[in-house]
Amino acid sequence: MIKVGIVGGTGYTGVELLRLLCLHPEVHIQAVTSRSDAGKRVDAVYPNLRGFVDTVFSEPAMELLAGCDLVFFATPNGTAMRMAPELLARGVKVIDLAADFRLQDPAEWEQWYGEPHACPELLTEAVYGLPEVRRDAIRQARLVANPGCYPTAVQLGFWPLLHAGLIDPAHLIADAKSGVSGAGRKAEIPMLMAEAGESFKAYGVSGHRHWPEIRQGLAEFAGGAVGLTFVPHLVPMIRGIHATLYGRLTAPVDDLQGLFERHYAGSAFVDVLPQGSHPETRNVRGANRCQIAVHRPQSGNTVVVLAVIDNLVKGAAGQAVQNMNLMCGLAESAGLSLVGLSP
């Protein structure tokens, strides 16, 4: 059994990790930390876990976490980078669900996150954990940066086209929508039901922290710099990401549908829908799955890709478990045979 710890177990991604890991056949939950709820039973804070998680929240003490084989950080940005070096030195593998190790350039990290990086020497070692793209590297990793939710949907949608060199990398547009759980479990006025309900708005248009992460990944697919316009939106639902992606064709292509189907033929968690489909976020709610449809409106030179995920599963905790499976030599799908909730 793999002994795992979760730092930051009271947030939405933390409890989603607990939901997935408590039923994982190869996992023992060794420690769950929370400074605010230390001493409380986990199932008292989250009654949905009664009968599945029999432990209490503890302070994030290094000695406790050092007894784990692998530690997940479901914490705000800036936490994992201060604790990961010592855990790695003690032989503990680390998966960070925040942004501490996603960007390769420490100066860029400081620009977007407002403080110097605490361990820039680890940025080159950290493996960006998009399993469909870096499966082999993740298997060898001891430190994985779990991708953000928007970046997961956008990169999976654009990857086949950029890899095949079919679209202009200088003119990429990602129009993406998220449910309110993407903002985390905290009390903020814009996230109140009376504020977010029956409304729809864009935000972060002049610059969003996920933009450099997405651009970095797309540039790798394209083999050079890319021009990306990324506009996120908040929609009145709890879970879900819907990314509508636009690219300009630069080469003849007869079968976009076949291109996507072949590209993801070996990826259990990417579902290319039949031609003409329009994926819905509700169909992946609760599941570790990205559903994709590709369109070519009016047979013109614009490709439109639609990609949907559950931001808390494939966009966070489910993808983290997928990475853990690879890092620990397990079947990639272990503990992740989840069917989307409908309705």
**Contact criterion met (CB below 8 Å) for 269 and 336:** yes
SS (H, E, C) 247-282: EEECCCCCCHHHHHHHHCCCCCCEEECCCCCCCCHH
Neighbours of 297 (CB within 10 A): 9
**Contact criterion met (CB below 8 Å) for 335 and 288:** no
265 Cβ contact partners less than 8 Å away, ≥ 6 residues apart: none
Task: Tell me which of 22, 68, 119, 149 is the catalytic residue.
Answer: 149
| Exposed / middle / buried, residue 56 (Cβ in 10 Å: 0-12, 13-18, 19+) | middle
Q: For residue 220, which of 133, 294, 306 has the smallest C-alpha distance?
A: 133
How many angstroms separate the first and last alpha carbons of the chain?
35
Residue 48 gets the label, from left (phi > 0), alpha (psi -120 to 50) or beta, of alpha
Is 119 a known active-site residue? no
Q: Alpha-carbon distance 138 to 86, whole Å? A: 20
**Contact criterion met (CB below 8 Å) for 135 and 326:** yes
Q: Alpha-carbon distance 276 to 10, whole Å? A: 40
Residue owning tokens 């966009």? 315
Q: Alpha-carbon distance 157 to 308, whole Å? A: 9
Residues serving a catalytic function are 149
